[in-house]
Each structure stands twice: as structure tokens, then as C-alpha cells.
Amino acid sequence: MATKSKAKKSKAASRKASARTVKTKSRAVKAKTRAVAAKRRNGNAVAAKRKNGNGLPPPSRKPWGAAGKALEGVRVLDFTHVQSGPTCTQLLAWFGADVIKVERPGSGDITRTQLRDIPGVDSLYFTMLNHNKRSITIDTKHPQGKRVLEALIKVSDVLVENFAPGVLDRMGLTWEYIHKLNPRMIVASVKGFGPGPYEDCKVYENIAQCTGGAASTTGFRDGPPLVTGAQIGDSGTGLHLALGIVAALYQRQRTGRGQRVLCAMQDGVLNLCRVKLRDQQRLKHGPLKEYSQYGEGIPFGDTVPRAGNDSGGGQPGWILKCKGWETDPNAYIYFIAQAPVWGAICDVIGEPGWKTDPEYATPEARLPKLRKIFDRIEQWTMTKTKFEAMEILNKYDIPCGPILSMKELAEDESLRKTGTIVEVDHPTRGKYLTVGNPIKLSDSITEVKRSPLLGEHTDEILKNVLGFKAHEIAEIKASGALGAPQEAGQKNAA
């Protein structure tokens, strides 16, 4: 009996060993199969990278402009107001970002009521800086308001603000707190000054122009500093900030984390005035010969002077009167006496002898006589309208440009066709003109949409973006965190 029992045990052990061997071989085969598959996948990935450029998707076969917007999928939390910040976020919205403008219940962005031309409706100041955005009203001091705000931070990519220094921190929205809620969040800020002795000072457009070097170099030599009509402090800084945000979004693809983006208005203006900083350094080595005061024999001081309508580049230029200047304040043309077309200029104005006259034949010889030269050119331009002069001069590639009024620009059909001037229909103020996207992308076509009414998209953002249930939305509304508390019968109102 013992012998039979041992034999049975031996056979059982043999079967188990055989089964283990089969399983081992099976595992080995499976492992080898997985290795081959992995190798094939890796090979395919390498091939894809080689074919598509570092793993990028293959070129879209959709028609140009039909493959989505450039910033589609990017959500921006917009805490900006007035001009510098809204300029930035509007540009991002034009490129397809979902820009959610967070506004104070009852009042919203202060520019909604500033410089109103029609009583009781949003001003052009607001509408022209807030296209393509959605608006939600939140009392950020209310507990339920903070709940909504934190939820928005968690699902957004960018937060943009242009509050006075320290305001965001006092709201409890420090960089550390925001980054803890959402490590991928990019926090972008416009401030008046960067770190330094003036960083706590409040800045507006003209202050930025004055502190950034623009005003000291704008105007005529014997007059006071002047600010320019172009909003280089506000809108200029907003454009700079938008570029910084796009760069941060691109870097995030590699690092996986957000960062702070700061653009100081003083810095933005100085960047636009860099040619004047160039001239400041040139002064150490002698006079600025392209400035008209050099030809007039007026000595230079130790700082870049105001130069009137001098071109500011290497080619002398000036604004000249045209036919009708006596009654039309904009009957003028800017004329550049570019060296390569000097001969053509001489022929057009009736001074062919200047082409060979040693007193005028070279740029160096002409520099001391610029005032006299432009006076002679003006005798010719005064016989032509600014458009007639431009048509004649352009035939000879002579650089020039008419002084166009805002009325002329608004009525320019070519600007309508390119989307630079756009007519927008608004539900309360009717149709108005605005400036469209100045940057044209061939595969991300901008559609300018009207600005939002105050809190217009509050419900859809709570429901579709944050995923709040109906009872949660009703609870938040009833608390007064989004505006005046609603009664039960009003809870489901838009």
C-alpha cells in the first residue's frame, strides 16, 4: 500500500512539474510577445516622430480656418478692468480662448458706465475692449462666492488681473494659494511699475507714457512734453502681457506647471521707446545728425531732445501741408526723404539739379539743410491733396503716408474687408464700430462677437463649466453670492 501511495504521489508531482513548465513557457512566450509589441510600438512612435516632427500630429486636412481656433481649449479667468488687462484678454478671446470675465454683482467693470454716449447701456469704452468674453458675477468676499471662485481656479489655465498693487493678495488669492489649488495655473498681472521704489504706486495711461520715456521725447523742442493719442501704456502693455501668457502656455507643455507673468506699464512703454534709449547712448559720441536741430545749428544737451516730427530713424522725415490745409486740420502727409529715391524726389518736386549738386547730392550733405529741403517739398505737396500726393509718390517708391482722421478710418472700406474695422450688433445699444483683431492668422480666423451683458453667462458657467447641480446653483443664488438673494420663485430665472 505504501509503495502504491508513493507512486501516486510521484505521478502527481510529475504532473504538477509539467504544468509549471508549461506555465513558465507560456509566460515566457507572452513576455516575448509583449516585448515584440512594445518594440513595434516604440518603432512606430519613432517613425511618427520622424514623420510628423517630434511626435506632432500630421497636418490637418480640413480647409484653412476650419481646424479650430489657435487657443481653443484654453480657459482664462479674467479679473481685469478698464483697458490694459481687457486688451490682453480680448486678444486671447479672439484667438479662441474661453475668457470668463469675473465681475462685481450690480456694477461690474467700471468702464460699463464711463464715457457713456447712450444712457442706460454699456459704454463703447467697455464694449470695444471686451468682445468674445463671457461674464459671471461673483461676490468674492462671500463664502459661497469663494466656493465658486475656487472651483473656477481649479478648471482654468490662466488668471489675468490688473488690480492695484496688493489687492489680489488681500483677496486671499496669493500666488502660493492659487498654485496650491491648481499647479498648472498661469497668473498674469499688469502693474504700473516693476519691483523697485515705485512698485506700490498706482499708474494710468498718461503716467505710464511719462515714466516710460515717451512724453520726454514727444513734442517740439521749444514746447512741453506731450503724451500721444495712441494708448501705448494701457493697450500696449496688454499686448505685451498676451505674448507673455502664450509663451507661458507653451512652456507649460514641457514643464507641466504654471508660472507668474508680470508686465509693468513702465517697462512696456520703454520697450516701445527703445530707439530713444539708442539715441541716448549715441549722444555720448556726438550730435544726432538726423535730428533737424543739428541742421539748424542748435547744440544738443545731455539727454535725447523732443524732435517734433523727425522720423526717429536713419531716414529724414517730416509732416508737410497738402492742398486744403487752411480748413482741414488733417490735410497733411508724412514724407520721408529716403536716400535711395533721392533722384526721384528731385524730379517730382521740380529740382533735378539737386541730384548732382554737391550741396544736395549725398545724405551727409543734405543733413544740415533738412529744413530747407522739406520747405521746398512742401511747396509741391501744397498743390496736391494728400491722396493725390500719395498716389504720385508711390509710383516712385517714395515713402509717404496721409494723415488719416478717425472719420476717414471708420469709413475706409478696405479696413472693413480685412476685419480691422468691424460692425458689431449689441442687444441694448444697437450697432457700433470697433477695431477687430490686428493680428491675422490664416488658420485661426477671428470672429468678433459682442461684449457680454453683466452676469449674462453666470448660470451656464455654473452648470456647464463647474458642473454644479440645480439645487447647488439655487443654494448659491439664494445666498446672495452672485448678486441680490433670489426668492424661491426666482431661483430658476436666467
Cβ neighbours of residue 300 under 8 Å, at least 6 residues apart? 283, 287, 288, 291, 293, 294
Write down the catalytic residue from 122, 139, 234, 279: 234
Helices of type H across 273-383: 274-282, 292-295, 342-349, 363-366, 370-381
The per-residue DSSP string of 111-155 comes to GGSTT-SSTTS--HHHHTT-TTEEEEE--TTSHHHHHHHHHHHHT
Select from 74, 78, 68 the least CA-distant residue to 457.
Answer: 78
Helix (H) or strand (E) holding 186: strand 186-191
Question: Residue 387: how many CA atoms within 13 Å on its side-chain side?
Answer: 3
SS3 (DSSP) at 37 = helix
Classify 196 in phi/psi space as left (phi over 0), alpha (psi -120 to 50) or beta: left
> Which uninterrupted H or E stretch holds 42?
helix 2-52
| Residue partners of 312: CB distance under 8 A and separation at least 6 | 275, 276
Beta strand pairing status for 400-402 and 332-336? antiparallel
C-alpha neighbours within 13 Å on the C-beta side of residue 442? 3
End-to-end CA distance of the chain: 91
d(CA 375, CA 359): 16
- Cα–Cα distance measured from residue 109 to residue 126, given in angstroms and rounded to the nearest whole number: 8
Give the H/E segment covering residue 211. Answer: helix 205-211
443 is catalytic: no
* Cα 83 to Cα 232: distance, rounded to the nearest angstrom: 11
Catalytic residue positions, numbered: 234
